[in-house]
Chains A and B, each alone.
Chain A
Amino acid sequence: MENIGGLCLILAFCLGVYSIFASVVGAWKQKPFLLVSGQRAVYSVWALVTTASALLVYAIMTDDFRIQYVWAHSNKAMATIYKFTAWWGGQEGSLLFWSFILSTYTAVVVFTTRKKHEYRAMMPWITSVLMFTLVFFLMLVAFVEHPFRILAIGRAATPMDDGRGLDPLLQYWTMVIHPPFLYLGYVGFVVPFAFAMGSLITKQPGDGWIHTTRRWALITWAFQSTGILLGAGWAYAVLGWGGYWGWDPVENASLLPWITSTSFLHSVMMQEKKGMMKVWNMVLVAATFFLCILGTFLTRSGVVSSVHAFAQSSLGNYFVVFLAVGIGATTWLILNRLPYLKSETQLESVVSRESSFLFNNLILLASCFAILWGTLFPVISEAVTGEKITVDAPYFNRVNIPIGLFLLFLTGVGPLVAWRRSSADALKRAFLMPTVGAAIFMSVLVALGIHHVYAVISFGLCFFVTATIGSEFWKGSKSIAAKDQVNLLRGAFELTHRNTRRYGGYIVHMGIVIMFIGFTGAAFNLDRTVEAKVGSTFKLGRYDLKVADMKGGENENYVWNHALIEVRSGGSYITTLKPELRKYAVSGSQTSNVAIRRALNEDLYLNFAGMTADSKVILQSYVFPLVSWIWVGYWVLLIGTLICLVPSKIKLQYAKMEVVGIARQAQPVEN
Chain B
Amino acid sequence: MHPYAKFGILILIIVSTLGWLALEGVSETKTYYKTIEEMAAMGTDAQVKRLRVGGDVEVIERNGQQVKFRMIQKENGKNLTLNVVYNGKDPLPDTFRIGAQCLADGKMGANGVFQASRIQAKCASKYEAKPGAKPGGNSSYAKPATT
Residues of A at the B interface (CB closer than 8 Å) are: 68, 72, 89-91, 149-155, 157-158, 160, 164-165, 167, 169-170, 175, 179, 238-241, 248, 250, 299, 305-311, 347-350, 355, 358-359, 362-363, 366, 370, 373-374, 377-378, 387-399, 402-403, 406, 527, 529, 531, 584, 586-592, 607, 609-610, 612-613, 618, 620
Give the contacting residue for A610; candidates B25, B54, B62, B121; CB below 8 A.
Answer: B62
Residue of A nearest to B122 (CB): A307
A-side contacts of B22, CB under 8 Å:
370, 373-374, 395, 398-399
Known contacts A349-B3, A394-B29, A402-B21; is A527 also within 8 Å of B54 by CB?
no
The 9 closest A-B pairs by CB, nearest first: A395-B25, A388-B33, A167-B124, A587-B136, A398-B25, A169-B124, A392-B29, A589-B136, A308-B123
Known contacts being A152-B147, A395-B26, is A378 close to B33, with CB within 8 Å? yes
Which chain A residues lie closer than 8 Å to B99 at the CB level?
Answer: 588
B44 at the interface (CB under 8 A from A): no
Instruction: Report if B6 contacts A (CB, 8 A).
Output: yes
Nearest chain A CB to B118 CB, angstrom units: 8
Instruction: Specify the chain B residue showing the minimal Cβ separation from A348.
Output: B3
Tell which of A167, A250, A390 touches B135, judged by Cβ atoms closer than 8 Å: A167
Q: Which of B90, B94, B122 has the most CB of A within 10 A?
A: B94
Q: How far in angstroms is the closest Cβ of chain A from B77?
A: 18
Specify which chain A residues have a CB less than 8 angstroms from the CB of B29 in the assembled complex: 391-395
Q: Which of B6, B64, B105 contacts A531 (CB 8 A)?
A: B64
Residues of chain A contacted by B17 (CB below 8 angstroms): 402
Contacts of A348 in B (CB 8 A): 3
Question: Are A609 and B135 in contact, CB atoms less than 8 angstroms apart?
Answer: no
Q: Which residues of A contact B31 (CB under 8 A)?
A: 389-392
B65 touches A609 (CB 8 A): yes
A588 and B97 in contact (CB under 8 A), knowing A72-B128, A391-B25?
yes
In the complex, what distance in Å separates the CA atom of A311 from the CA atom of B30? 25
Q: Is B137 located at the chain interface by the 8 A CB criterion?
A: yes
CB distance from B38 to the nearest CB of A (A): 10
A490, B5: Cα distance in complex, Å: 46
Q: How distant is the Cα of A169 from the Cα of B94 in the complex, in angstroms?
A: 8
- Interface pair A588/B62, CB less than 8 Å apart: no
Contact between A358 and B89, CB atoms less than 8 A apart: no
Q: Are A398 and B24 in contact (CB under 8 A)?
A: yes
Cross-chain contact A529 with B33 (CB below 8 angstroms) = no
In the complex, which residues of chain A have a beta carbon less than 8 angstroms from the beta carbon of B98?
588
- Check A153/B142 contact, CB under 8 A, given A167-B124, A307-B122, A362-B14: yes
**New A-B contacts (9) at CB < 8 Å, excluding given A350-B3, A350-B7:** A68-B146, A152-B147, A307-B122, A377-B26, A391-B26, A395-B29, A587-B136, A588-B137, A609-B92
Establish whether residues B15 and A179, one from each chain, have CB atoms under 8 Å apart when the complex forms: no
Could you tell me if A587 and B134 are in contact, using CB atoms closer than 8 angstroms? yes
Q: Which B residues are CB-close (under 8 A) to A529?
A: 65, 89
Q: How far is the CA of A378 from the CA of B33 in the complex (A)?
A: 8
Which of chain B's residues 66-120 have a Cβ closer than 8 Å to chain A?
Answer: 89-95, 97-99, 103, 105, 120
Name the one of B26, B122, B125, B135 contacting A165, with C-beta atoms under 8 angstroms. Answer: B135
Cross-interface CB contact of B30 among A90, A167, A355, A390, cutoff 8 Å = A390
Partner among A153, A366, A394, A396 whose Cβ is within 8 Å of the Cβ of B145 = A153
Instruction: Pick the contact of A586: B91, B95, B122, B137 (CB < 8 A).
Output: B137
Sampled A-B contacts (22; CB under 8 Å):
A89-B125, A90-B128, A150-B146, A150-B147, A152-B144, A153-B142, A155-B147, A160-B144, A170-B124, A250-B123, A305-B52, A307-B120, A308-B123, A308-B125, A370-B22, A374-B25, A377-B26, A389-B30, A391-B30, A587-B135, A588-B99, A588-B136
B99: nearest residue on chain A (CB-CB)?
A588
Q: How far is the CA of A406 from the CA of B124 in the complex (A)?
A: 36
Nearest B residue to A594 via CB reads B91
CA distance A91 to B11 in the complex (A): 42
Q: Summarize A's interface: helix, strand, loop or mixed.
A: mixed
Among B63, B89, B94, B147, point to the contact of A527 (Cβ < 8 A). Answer: B89
Interface residues of B (CB under 8 A from A): 3-4, 6-7, 10-11, 14-15, 17-18, 21-22, 24-26, 28-33, 52, 54, 62-65, 89-95, 97-99, 103, 105, 120-129, 131, 134-137, 142, 144-147
B134 near A586 with CB under 8 A, answer yes
Using A153-B142, A311-B128, A350-B10 as known contacts, say yes or no to A239 and B93 having CB atoms under 8 A apart.
yes
Q: Which of A153, A387, A612, A618 contacts B144 (CB 8 A)?
A: A153
Per a CB cutoff under 8 Å, which of B28, B52, B127, B136 touches A390? B52
Chain A residues with Cβ below 8 Å from B105 are: 392
Docked pose: A399 CA to B21 CA in angstroms: 6
Flag if B94 contacts A305 (CB, 8 Å): no
A179 CA / B124 CA spacing, docked (Å): 13
Partner of A149, one of B15, B124, B128, B146: B146
Flag if A363 contacts B14 (CB, 8 Å).
Answer: yes
Known: A164-B129, A389-B31. A241 touches B90 (CB 8 A): yes
Q: A591 CA to B22 CA in the complex, in Å?
A: 37
Cβ contact within 8 Å between A618 and B126? no
**Chain A hits for B54, CB < 8 A:** 305
Decide yes or no: A366 and B15 within 8 Å by CB, A169-B124, A240-B91 being known contacts: yes
Are A388's CB and B147's CB within 8 A? no
B31, B126, B146, most chain A CB atoms within 10 A: B126
A248 to B31: give the CA distance in the assembly, Å.
Answer: 14
B137 and A310 within 8 A (CB): no
Does A240 lie within 8 Å of B94, measured CB to CB? yes
- Contact for A169 among B6, B14, B26, B95, CB less than 8 A: B95
Q: Do B18 and A370 have beta carbons less than 8 Å apart?
A: yes
CA distance A374 to B93 in the complex (A): 23
- The distance from the CB of B87 to the nearest CB of chain A, in whole angstroms, is 11
Question: Which residues of the partner chain A approach B128 to less than 8 Å between Cβ atoms?
Answer: 72, 90-91, 310-311
In the bound complex, what is the Cα–Cα distance between A110 and B131 (angstroms)? 42
Residues of A within 8 A of B94 (CB): 169, 238-240, 589-592
Contacts A158-B144, A395-B26 given; indicate if A358 touches B134 (C-beta within 8 A): no
Q: Complex formed: what's the CA distance from A17 to B6 in Å?
A: 51
Instruction: Please report the C-alpha to C-alpha distance between residue A350 and residue B1 in the assembled complex, in whole angstroms.
Output: 11
Q: Which of A157, A179, A250, A362 is the one whose CB lies under 8 Å from B11?
A: A362
The answer to whether A387 touches B120, judged by C-beta atoms less than 8 angstroms apart, is: no
A311 nearest in chain B by CB position: B128
A615 to chain B: closest CB distance in Å? 12
Q: How far is the CA of A250 from the CA of B120 in the complex (A)?
A: 14
Of B25, B52, B64, which one neighbours A394 at CB under 8 angstroms?
B25
Chain B residue at smallest Cβ distance from A151? B144
Given the contacts A179-B125, A347-B3, A370-B18, A305 and B103 also touching, CB distance less than 8 Å: yes
Flag if A241 contacts B93 (CB, 8 Å). Answer: yes
- Which residues of B have CB within 8 Å of A239? 93-94
- Give the residue name and chain of the A residue nearest to B118 (CB): A392
CB-nearest residue of chain B to A150: B147
A395 to chain B, nearest CB (A): 3
Residues of chain A within 8 A (CB-CB) of B64 are 531, 610, 612-613, 618
> Among B14, B93, B131, B142, which residue has its beta carbon within 8 angstroms of that of A366?
B14
Please give me the residue from chain A that is nearest to B95 by CB atom: A169
Point out the residues of chain B lying under 8 angstroms from A89, CB to CB: 125
Return chain A residues, CB-CB under 8 Å to B11: 362
Closest beta carbon of chain A to B29's beta carbon, Å = 4
